[in-house]
Structure 1
Amino acid sequence: MKKYFSLLLVLLLIVSATLPAAASAKNTNKGKEIALSKQLKAISKNTYRYFEDFTDKKTGLTYDAVRMDNGEINAQKFTSPTNIAMYMMSTISAEEVGLISREEAVTNIEKTLNSLKDMDKWNGLFYNWYYTEDATLMTDWGQFISTVDNGWLSAGLVVVGQAYPELYEETHALVEDMDYSTLYTPEVGQMRGGYDVATESYTAHHYGAFYTEPRVASYIAIGKEDVPEEHWWRMFRTMPESWDWQAQIPEGYTETYDGVDVFEGHYSYKGTKYVPSWGGSMFEALMPQLVLKEKELGKNALGLNNKRHVDIQIQYAKEQGYAAWGMSPAATPDNYSEFAATPLGMDGYKSDGTVTPHATFLALEYAPMEAFNNIQALKRFDMYGKYGFLDSVNVETGEVTQAYLALDQGMTMVSIVNYLKDGVIRDYFHQDQIGKSPEDLLMKETFSIQ
């Protein structure tokens, strides 16, 4: 009996020692969560100020970018379909967190919709560049119809129509007119990169890689019934094993979905399996989940893979000795370039120490505490100001790019609000039949990365 009492005493001592430590850790995490939420609200206010100050008051079209040259503001007064979508979804996000009123949000978005109705189009699809001052076509850079950019504009319009039902008829009409069948090649089962109206020619390439940003356009084209569901399964999870130019020879197996054989391939990094993107950047991997319920519905496929890409981005940056993580295409002091955690790509982009803040915000819902710590690390580079975070910093040299991009400001804004409001922008998108009808495609797939 004495032996049992001794054992019980030891157990009680262990439990009593463990409980305070566990409670302390829980309280610490809770405190960080509260601090993160407060910080995100403050960042959203500064980030949205970009759209308030650099959107044309008459047309409702946001400038593509703003560069700070020796203290002078150099605004690039043209815009793209993706920028327009980011503005509209950022405006909804601003209303969701109380930065602007509902009335102000609707009034501002109505200006944008009025411009969209009158803008030059091809089969209802929008060209890649328009002047913000009068919404006319910008022909200096050609007359290109981009599949992925139109996908984002459709997504933004769908979200607006559900957030503000009084605008639904206008947004629905615009989306219905956008004919994605004109960009689809049935024999290949894939979407073209786009179409050049001036030369009357399609791009030579199709969007063949599945785990890349254009999957939003594919999802919407299926939701609209412009293209068949088969398209979803005809894209490559990895390229076939025989294509030896890719970064790794993939491992996996063939699975059949809806009568289509799909090679469920994967790469590996330090023992972690994942389906690669094309270049290995954060926005290819995670920008689509701004509107697609990959985290909620694709638990065995896209949602799981999103988490793997975040984890490897963090791990890779640490192994490189970087003071912060988050590699993705961004503005540079001279121009714009692609950056990535190189191993995550089929044909990986470079990694030279350039880090962009929007990558951190895209990762919020998968690694919130790591994102909290990374925000502090980024702020130590003196890159946070009136409009939120500047677009990039080279953490090796300390050089900060003095620019803000509408695209990256928008990704930051929508990511913050999805985190703070439990995926509200995704909820709006999936309330629409276009977002709801293909949900089974997200749910039924299992990647070979379990």
Structure 2
Amino acid sequence: MKKLLSVIVTTVLLTSLCIPWGSQTEASPEGTEVARDQELNAIAKQTYRYFEDFTDKSTGLPFDAVRVEGEVDTKEYTSPTNIGMYYMSTIAADELGIISEEEAVAKIEKSLQTLKTLEKWNGLYYNWYFTEDGSLMKDWGQFISTVDNGWLSAGLVAVGQAYPELNDQTSKLVEEMDYTQLYDPEVGQMWGGYDVAKGEMTAHHYGTFYTEPRVASYVAIGKGDAPKTHWWKMERTPPAEYDWQSQTPEGHTETYDGVEVFEGHYTYNGEKYVPSWGGSMFEGLMPSLVLKEKELGKNALGLNNKRHVELQIEYAKEQGYDVWGMSPAATPDGYSEFAATPLGVMGYEKDHVVTPHATFLGLEYATDEAMKNIHKLKDMDAYSKYGFLDSVNAETGEVTQAYLALDQGMIMVSIANFLKDGVVRDYFHSDEIGKKPEELLIKEEFSIK
């Protein structure tokens, strides 16, 4: 009992005083790790308050965003990605002891009941719904997004494995989500989405491999809605002869499952990497919240994730910034795309704003640097009632007084995966949809060693 009391007192003191885990010069490595983990758990507790306070009590749908500059302004609409991230965040909160399993099941169950009633197209969900009653936001169009449905599917799969009593419901919803409608067999890639009002697919496919839509591709393959050859039809880099890309790639051609793949890479400061489209952190690393890229893709996606984190850190230092982590985020007057520009095929031009969710996505790959960045962001007054505010201007220090469900979700799941040995990934891969395509992660080797 005395030992338990001592641990509780230490935890309270560390949390209330915000003592940085790395500042205890006399602490043992083991003690330092304990303090670090306690701090991360405390951050997760603050972060999950967003979902507790800004999820509709009757529908169980999370608000897209909340701005807290002056009077609180709640954005009471949501997307399939927000819902999927809410589910995974609730699993994370349960695993971290923030809420009980019974509370987690009740929260998700309420949301699932609403999900069953939402207007859909071939089992796939529209991009925007009002949280108050789940009605479709028709003024914002009638678009079916491939990437957003992928994240909802991933969240449902994880829930079904975390809580077996909900598996029948989640499995039925995922089975009804028909990705064959979004797959183009002639090209071997997924369309960006479908405009139901116009009756048209988007003009573009998701052709760049190292971007966040690969979760939808993985799910579609796991379900059997797309063949495994689809995985190899996406481009690691565009072919070298495409002169519109930001640099000419080098590499070689490999054959996987009968498909020739150009294993291309870019180079930045002597380091090789496979680029994302824009060079932002969540394009590259958000999929690793559910896909076992670190564990299974040691010579491909896992290695590339590590490389992107390291290069994001290096790029920020070169720009003279005290903090790092560029990724699309809220700004004082809206939302914009930010990136470590050289890391993209067509890199986003803006690079002066960092967002905390990018740091947490890098937590498993550069732990010490991530913790230092977390403390710097706290010192810049970017930490408040609901955890980290959404972005900081690295040039002026201005903090955007907003929280986004998507970004809060990425922080929650990143912490749970770090503290609980990839727990959300484990749940996702426990389902046949997660298991079936694992060989695709294992067999590939990028040309970046």
TM-score under structure 1 length normalisation = 0.93
Match of residue 61 from structure 2: 61
* Per-residue deviation, residues 211-236 of structure 1 (Å, max 9, x unmatched): 00000000000000001111000000
Contact persistence 2:341–2:351 (CA under 8 A): no
Other structure's SS at 1:52 match: helix
C-alpha offsets along residues 331-363 of structure 1, whole Å, 9 cap, x if unaligned?
000000000111100000123420100000000
Query: Does the 8 Å contact 1:33/1:369 carry over to 2?
Result: no
Report the count of equivalent residues.
426
Q: Which residue of 1 aligns with 2:427?
A: 428
3-state DSSP of counterpart to 1:69: coil
Equivalent in the alignment of 1:90: 89
Q: Which residue of 2 aligns with 1:169?
A: 168
Structure 1 runs of 4+ with >6 Å offset: 24-27
**Deviation readout 1:236-269 (Å, 9 max, x if unpaired):** 0000111111011000000000000000000001
Aligned to 2:270: 271
Could you tell me which residue of structure 2 aligns to residue 13 of structure 1? none
- 1:383: Cα distance to partner? 1.3
Deviation at residue 38 of structure 1 after TM alignment: 1.1
Secondary structure at the residue paired with 1:266? strand
Deviation at 1:36, TM superposition (A): 1.7
Matches within 5 A, 1:306-317: 306-317=305-316
Q: TM-score, normalised by structure 2?
A: 0.94
Query: Cα deviation per residue 1:164-217 (whole Å; 9 max; x = unaligned)?
Result: 000000000000000001001101000000000001011000000000000000
Cα distance in 1, alignment partners of residues 30 and 446 from structure 2: 33
Paired with 1:176 and 1:382, the residues of 2 have a C-alpha distance of 44
Distance 2:309 2:273 in 1: 11
Deviations 1:121-146 (A, max 9, x none): 00000000000000111111100000
Between the aligned partners of 1:398 and 1:230, the Cα distance in structure 2 is 46
Offset, 1:27: 6.3
Instruction: Give 3-state SS (helix, strand or coil) of 2:205's partner.
Output: coil
Q: Distance in 2 between matches of 1:29 and 1:317?
A: 28
Answer whether contact 2:326 2:355 (CA < 8 A) is retained: yes
Alpha-carbon distance in structure 2 between the residues aligned to 1:32 and 1:335: 39
The whole-number CA distance in structure 2 between the counterparts of 1:400 and 1:121 is 37
Contact 2:340–2:351, Cα closer than 8 Å, also in 1:
no
How do residues 85-124 of structure 1 correspond to structure 2 at under 5 angstroms?
Answer: 85-124=84-123
Structure 1 residue 26: deviation in Å?
A: 11
Tell me which residue corresponds to 1:206.
205
Q: Is the 8 A contact 2:328 2:336 kept in 1?
A: yes
1:222 alignment partner in structure 2 = 221
The match for 1:134 is 133
Q: CA–CA distance in 2 between the matches of 1:235 and 1:79? A: 29
Shift of 1:300: 0.4
Aligned residue runs from structure 1 range 3-82, under 5 A: 29-70=29-70, 72-82=71-81
Once the two structures are superposed, what CA deviation does each residue of 1:34-83 show, in whole Å capped at 9, x if it has no partner? 2221110110010000000000011000000000132x110000000000
The structure with the largest alpha-carbon Rg is 1
2:56 partner letter: D
Asked if 1:438 is matched to 2:437, the reply is yes
Q: Which deviates the most, 345-354 or 288-297? A: 345-354
Q: Can you give the 5+ residue segments of structure 2 that lack an aligned partner in the other structure?
A: 1-23
Larger mean Cα displacement after TM superposition, 345-354 or 105-114: 345-354
8 A contact 1:247–1:343 mirrored in 2: yes
Segments of structure 1 that go 5 or more residues without pairing to the other structure are 1-23
Give 3-state SS (helix, strand or coil) of 1:262's partner. strand
Q: Is the 8 A contact 1:47 1:413 kept in 2?
A: yes
For 1:224-239, list aligned pairs within 5 A.
Answer: 224-239=223-238
Partner of 1:143: 142
- Partners of 1:25 and 1:228 lie apart in 2 by 54
Q: Supply the AA of the counterpart residue of 1:44.
A: A
CA distance in structure 2 between the partners assigned to 1:46 and 1:182 by the alignment: 40
Shift of 1:324: 0.4
Deviation, 1:31, is: 4.2
Q: Which amino acid aligns with 1:51?
A: F
Q: Distance in 1 between the 2:364 and 2:350 partners?
A: 24
| Identity among equivalent pairs (%) | 72
Amino acid at match of 1:186: P
Task: Specify the code of the residue in structure 2 equivalent to 1:42.
Answer: A
* Alignment check: 8 A CA contact 2:249 2:266 kept: yes
| Distance in structure 2 (CA, Å) of the matches to 1:200 and 1:381 | 48
User: SS state of the match for residue 94, structure 2?
Assistant: helix
The one-letter amino acid of 1:84's match is I
- Give the match for residue 348 of structure 2: 349
Query: Which amino acid in 1 is paired with 2:345?
Result: M
Matched AA of 1:88: Y
Task: Report the CA distance between 1:32 and its aligned residue.
Answer: 3.6
Deviation of 1:395 (Å): 1.6
Query: Where do residues 190-205 of structure 1 align in structure 2 (5 Å cutoff)?
Result: 190-205=189-204
Contact 1:32 1:369 in 2 (8 A): no
Task: Spell out the pairing of 1:176-191 with structure 2 (5 A cutoff).
Answer: 176-191=175-190
Counterparts of 2:201 and 2:137, CA distance in 1: 19
Cα distance in structure 1, aligned partners of 2:389 and 2:170: 32
Aligned-partner Cα distance in 1 for 2:350–2:42:
30
**1:354-393 paired onto structure 2 within 5 Å:** 354-393=353-392
- Give 1:30 shift: 3.9
Residue 339 (1) aligns with residue 338 (2): yes
State the secondary structure of the residue aligned to 1:325: coil
